[in-house]
Structure 1
Amino acid sequence: MTNEALTRLKTALAAPGGASSDFDLNPNYRPPEGRKLRHAAVLVGLIEKPAGLSVVLTKRSSRLKHHPGQIAFPGGKQDEGDADLTATALREAEEEIGLNPASVDVLGTLPTHETVTSFTVTPILGLIRDEFHPLPEENEVEEVFFTPFDHVTNPERFIVQSRRWMGQQRHYYTVPFGPYYIWGATARILRGLADRMSS
């Protein structure tokens, strides 16, 4: 990564801006009262590929109970043994895609994202220094792929779509890439980064 690109990223991370949620585009939706939010973290992993800077994404296994087949960052809920949420993101990335935590330079965090499944997700932005050959955990990850950074940080690539959910029409961001339908929390986190990169 060039010094200019790294400076742009750090400037984007430092930009003001609040948390996001799955309810951003659905102002009439009210979460259930008394729900308990659980902490989770994901790794927004950046890596230099021959075609340029890319983001590491996964396609979740179709056998999973929650969000089968969806596109996601590597990550998951915080465990008691995790020192902090950065440790959570790095541990999950190692478990899910075989990424050595020592190969990641953590650049910072993006604002939290609240999901309809009652998680407060902290995105950890990290630069993967070394050559990386993914080793998907077959019970959780069907595929690991690399998406051009310029594609998923261009606000013009994002589309707002909707579907029926719990009796209501729910709107959400999508940022399709080739055969991959990137939507929901993953697309919302990327949209937040895109807005910061373009401001």
Structure 2
Amino acid sequence: MSKRLTFHDLRRALRLDCFDARAAQGLMAPKPRGWEKRASPPKQAAVMILVFADAGASLHSVLTLRNADLRGHSGQVSFPGGGAEPVDRDALETARRETVEEIGICAARVQPLGRLANLYIPASHYDVTPVVAKYAGKPAFAPNDQEVAEVFTFTLDDLLRPELKAEERRQIRGVEARVPYYAINQHKVWGATAIMLSELEGRLLRARQIAASDTG
């Protein structure tokens, strides 16, 4: 049985050399995506992949179920985050500000670890930077009920379990697509969030393989 993932493993995963992030993302992307890229420059956004350790040292990350009344991506599971504002100096500030607004965590306890590859989201025309951060302690969530219907967590160890992944068919802009998803806490996590999770999963698996070969 593999040992539990640690923050050391996560840092190693984020610093991998020669990792094909696009290929890892593509494993959980809908096919075909059914969108045409627009001519205008995309808007900038950032999300936060917030990671914390429980009392048993297992690493958890945080997802939100978006309020069904929201105009964009309503009722979908996503990482906390949103569009950049003029006051934001960089993607970290965007991700941290939006995360605090959405789930009510303490900003001072957020410690950045790294980033995943940027992801263009055709539906909203956003170029999204996924920021990975450690949370010092266990977060107490106070979700903004105008945006967030539910906050839930999952362990990074569970992310590596193949049985969490499945596929279904959905209509995307009038095109029938094969849509991979992660089954997490009774929710189907698909689309941009699944694509980001796929890169994180791939990085963690590769880092674990490298660690095993180093000790072997």
TM-score w.r.t. the length of structure 1 is 0.89
1:87 and 2:93 matched: yes
In the alignment, the residues of structure 2 paired with residue 89 and residue 28 of structure 1 have an alpha-carbon distance, to the nearest angstrom, of 26
Aligned residue pair count: 198
Q: Is the 8 A contact 1:23 1:29 kept in 2?
A: no
Relative to structure 1, the CA distance from residue 25 to residue 141 in structure 2 (aligned partners, 3 Å threshold; closer, same or farther) is: closer
Relative contact order higher in (CA < 8 Å, ≥ 6 apart): 2
One of 16, 20, 26 as aligned partner of 1:17: 20
Which residue number corresponds to residue 143 of structure 1? 150
Partners of 1:185 and 1:33 in 2: CA distance: 17
Q: Secondary structure at the match of 1:55?
A: strand
Deviation at 1:180, TM superposition (A): 1.7
Q: Deviations over 1:120-139 (max 9, x none)?
A: 11110011112321010111
Secondary structure of 2:95's counterpart equals helix
After superposition, residues 56-135 of structure 1 pair within 5 angstroms as 56-117=62-123, 118-135=125-142
C-alpha distance in structure 2 between counterparts of 1:28 and 1:62, whole Å? 23
Alignment-derived partner of residue 36 in structure 2:
31
Q: Which residue of 2 aligns with 1:165?
A: 172
Counterpart residue type for residue 94 of structure 1: V
Aligned residue identity for 1:44: I
Q: Which runs of 5+ in 1 are unaligned?
A: none
- Higher Cα radius of gyration: 2
- Is 2:169–2:178's contact at 8 Å kept on the other side of the alignment? yes
- Identity of counterpart residues, as a percentage? 29
Spell out, residue by residue over 1:135-166, the C-alpha distance to the aligned partner (whole angstroms, 9 max, x if none).
Answer: 10111011111112112244552223331112
Rounded to whole Å, the distance in 2 between the matches of 1:22 and 1:85 is 25
The structural deviation recorded for 1:57 is 0.9
Residue 191 of structure 2 corresponds to 184
Counterpart of 2:201, as a letter, is: A
- Give unpaired runs (5+ residues) of structure 2: 207-216
CA contact (8 A) 1:21 1:114 kept: no
Distance 1:45 1:23 in 2: 20
Structure 1 Cα separation of the partners of residues 99 and 116 of structure 2: 17
- Given the superposition, is the C-alpha separation of residues 28 and 71 from structure 1 closer, same or farther in structure 2, using an over 3 Å criterion? closer
Where 2:59 maps in the other structure, the secondary structure is: strand
Residue 11 of structure 1 and its aligned partner are, at CA, apart by 1.7
Counterparts in 2 of 1:130 and 1:33: CA distance versus 1, 3 Å: closer
- Maintained 8 Å contact 1:42/1:75: yes
Give SS of 1:90's match.
helix
Letter in 2 for 1:85: A
RMSD: 2.5
- The 1:83/1:22 distance shift into structure 2, 3 A limit, reads farther
